[in-house]
Amino acid sequence: MMFLFTDRFDAGRYLATRLGHYAHSPNVLVLGLPRGGVPVAYEVARALDAPLDVFLVRKLGVPGQEELAMGAIATGPVRVLNHEVIRMLRITDDELNRATEREMAELHRREREYRGDRPPPQVQGRTVILIDDGLATGASMRAAITALRQQDPARLVVAVPTAAADTCAELEAHVDEIICATTPEPFLGVGRWYENFSQMTDAQVRELLQRAWREQEAKVHS
d(CA 73, CA 105): 11
Q: Which pLDDT value is given to residue 126?
A: 97
**Does residue 59 or residue 20 have the better pLDDT?**
20
pLDDT (tens digit per residue) in 150-161: 889 999 999 999
Chain CA centroid to CA 153, Å: 16
Question: What is the domain range of residue 155?
Answer: 8-56+122-221
Give the per-residue pLDDT at 114: 94
**89 assigned to some structural domain:** no
Task: Write out pLDDT tens, residues 65-115.
Answer: 887 889 888 887 788 888 999 999 999 999 999 999 999 999 999 999 998
Share of the chain above pLDDT 90, in %: 73
Mean pLDDT of the chain: 92
What's the CATH number where 35 sits? Answer: 3.40.50.2020
Domain tally for the chain? 1
- pLDDT higher than threshold 70 for residue 122: yes
Q: SS3 helix, strand, coil % of the chain, rounded to 5?
A: 45, 25, 35
Mean of the pLDDT values across residues 136-157? 90
Q: What is the mean pLDDT of residues 165-187?
A: 95
> Three-state DSSP class for 73?
strand
Residue 149 to residue 155: CA distance in whole angstroms: 9
Report pTM.
Answer: 0.89
What is the band of 59 on the pLDDT scale with cuts at 50, 70, 90? confident
Q: How confident is the model at residue 1 (pLDDT cuts 50, 70, 90)?
A: low
Could you tell me if residue 72 is inside a domain?
no
Higher per-residue pLDDT: 219 or 167: 167
Cα Rg, the chain, nearest whole Å: 17
Q: Within a domain: residue 110?
A: no
